[in-house]
Chain A
Amino acid sequence: MSTNIEERLFTIRYKADKVSHLIIKDQEVCLNCPTKECNWFCPSDVYLWHDLEKMTSVAYENCIECGTCRIGCPTYNIEWVYPKGGYGVTYKYG
């Protein structure tokens, strides 16, 4: 009964806003980040580093608003606010 992350995220009800509530403040900082640990600790795989484009992509639509990246980014390079009222995740069980 192993489940991959796509299947997991599919079980969550979202109402995605058109604009991201998560913003990488400075991609240059990501480039110089030796650990890029956001690629690991995020429970819904929002962050992914792209070697070719030299940037961190942000799949904010998948965000479950836990706040781990807000606290976990070693350089506090993520601007983190809540999605607009009523948007984002709406749990069915909780």
Chain B
Amino acid sequence: MADERFDAIVVGAGPAGTAAAYTMAKAGLKVALVERGEFPGAKNLFGGVLYRQQLEELIPEWWKEAPLERTIVEQRLWMLGEDSVVTLGHRNEKYKSPPNCWTGLRVKFDPWFASKAEQAGALPIYETVVTELLMQGDQVVKGIRTDRDDGELEANITIVADGVNSLLGKQLGVHREWRPHEVSLAVKEVIGLSKQAIQDRFNLDANEGCTIEIVGQTCGMAGLGFLYTNQDTLSLGVGVMVNDLKKHRVKPYEVLDGLKQHPMIKKLIEGGEVREYSGHLIPEGGFNSIPPLAGNGWMICGDAAQMVNAVHREGTNLAVTSGRLAGEVAIAAHKAGDFSLRTLSAYNDAIRASIIHKDLKKYRGLHGLLAYENSEKLFNQLPQAVNDAVYEMLLVDGKPKKTKQKQAFRQLKDASGGHNMDLLRLGIKGWRAMNG
């Protein structure tokens, strides 16, 4: 393996690592970008939606050349009952220019993004697992050990962007092992369907896309489903909290099967062919799970640092921003010739001043709301009760509306605990969780 010394080594060629590598290589630093997959993206998975804004700060008008699926013009929220749905959505022509976000597939997007870092001068070292960080004493990271022969590489700075499992973060002791309530498991299927069928069924023109987030019918577990339109495939998936999954003894793919059988979804995917099944953990700990972000000779970015906004299903954009900020701090450290925490702690400050910190802080209470005793209520009983209530209100069966309204309110009350105050309490709790 290369015995030369690097200014910086980046572990992981996902959005966070690649953004860091690109930023540093462009400024002339000697950078190695290490990835365990056969190519960048080979191991990666998301829902997935790619946002324009944050990456534009790195590569202006990146979206004009990147491989993307459809420009999202409509976002829907579905609250599912057993064989019913209450829907809410927003469609706007303004989402087209400039585009707000797109659907995408990681096996197409990640290699494109990594190629940008390579063109900027980062040395790609793929198909290589980083087995541990090399330490000088017990405080200073001085490089990496890989699973290749003679596979040690040294650098002034190591940027850890090794994803949600972050075995390197664990080695650093920046996070104790994630606990089951800090992650969810998402399983997804990419379902092949003709362009025309997708456009007809989702009311879209060519290149227009639609996303549907789904609440309810997750077998009483805290979680969300999603159905996104790609060019000639659909991405259908569901993520559930691992602590719930452990208790419920349901197979993750059976939750997905349940969604596929739902009358609302069944018709949309009818005739489609499953092209790929996949699964991945999602960091859900939010603000309270963000670890220390820098130390002597290292910084940590993206999923590895729990930087996901679960409420708005934003992750790749936060990863890109954190990678860019780490890269910028590395450039400053390179100029100053100091790679200790004293200099690298600027990355902590930069994250604190960024959208990542602000957005995750806003939703810091959400994690507590998803605690076990609430999940059955929030993700099963309430969506069902809302469906039942709307059903009653719209059903013309001779009962006076006033009676119906009372009945609907009682259903909601029962679903939230049975007492008059429970519905209000749950509402306040929910509001606080979203506005912490």
Contact = CB atoms under 8 A, between A and B. Distances in A.
Interface stretch (B205-213, B275-283, B343-351, B410-418): B275-283
Contacts of B272: 1
Interface stretch (A3-11, A24-32, A51-59): A3-11
A84 B185 contact: no
Contacts of A5: 251, 253
A68 B280 CA distance: 8
B375 interface: no
A93 B129 contact: no
A82 B177 CA distance: 16
B106 A94 contact: yes
B269 interface: yes
Q: Which of B110, B164, B281 has the most CB of A within 10 A?
A: B281
A76 B126 CA distance: 30
A1 B234 CA distance: 14
Contacts of A88: 43
Interface in A56-94: 64-68, 70-72, 74, 76, 81-86, 88-94
A12 interface: yes
Interface in A6-22: 7-9, 11-12, 15
Nearest to A45: B251
A11 B281 contact: no
Given A43-B279, A72-B246, A90 B38 contact: yes
Contacts of B276: 11-12, 91-93
Given A2-B260, A12-B277, A84-B147, A72 B242 contact: yes
Interface residues of A, number: 41
A89 B251 CA distance: 20
A83 to B, nearest CB: 8
A37 B43 contact: no
B165 A8 contact: no
A40 B36 contact: no
Classify chain B's interface size: 35 or more
A91 B253 contact: no
A30 B381 CA distance: 35
Contacts of A85: 36, 126-129, 146-148
Given A66-B280, A66-B281, A37 B42 contact: no
B183 A71 contact: yes
Contacts of B249: 37, 40
Given A43-B252, A65-B43, A85-B128, A11 B277 contact: yes
Given A66-B279, A72-B245, A92 B178 contact: no
B323 interface: no
Nearest to B251: A40
Given A41-B252, A71-B183, A94-B107, A86 B127 contact: yes
A48 B252 CA distance: 15
Given A41-B245, A72-B180, 8 more contacts: A35-B246, A66-B279, A71-B242, A72-B242, A89-B43, A92-B107, A92-B275, A93-B105
15 contacts: A41-B252, A42-B252, A66-B185, A71-B179, A71-B281, A72-B242, A72-B245, A81-B129, A85-B128, A91-B45, A91-B278, A92-B276, A93-B105, A93-B275, A94-B46
Interface of B: 36-38, 41-46, 105-108, 110, 126-129, 131, 146-148, 164-165, 167, 177-180, 183, 185, 187, 189-190, 233, 242, 245-246, 249-253, 257, 260-261, 266, 269-270, 272, 274-281
Interface of A: 1-3, 5, 7-9, 11-12, 15, 35, 37, 40-45, 64-68, 70-72, 74, 76, 81-86, 88-94
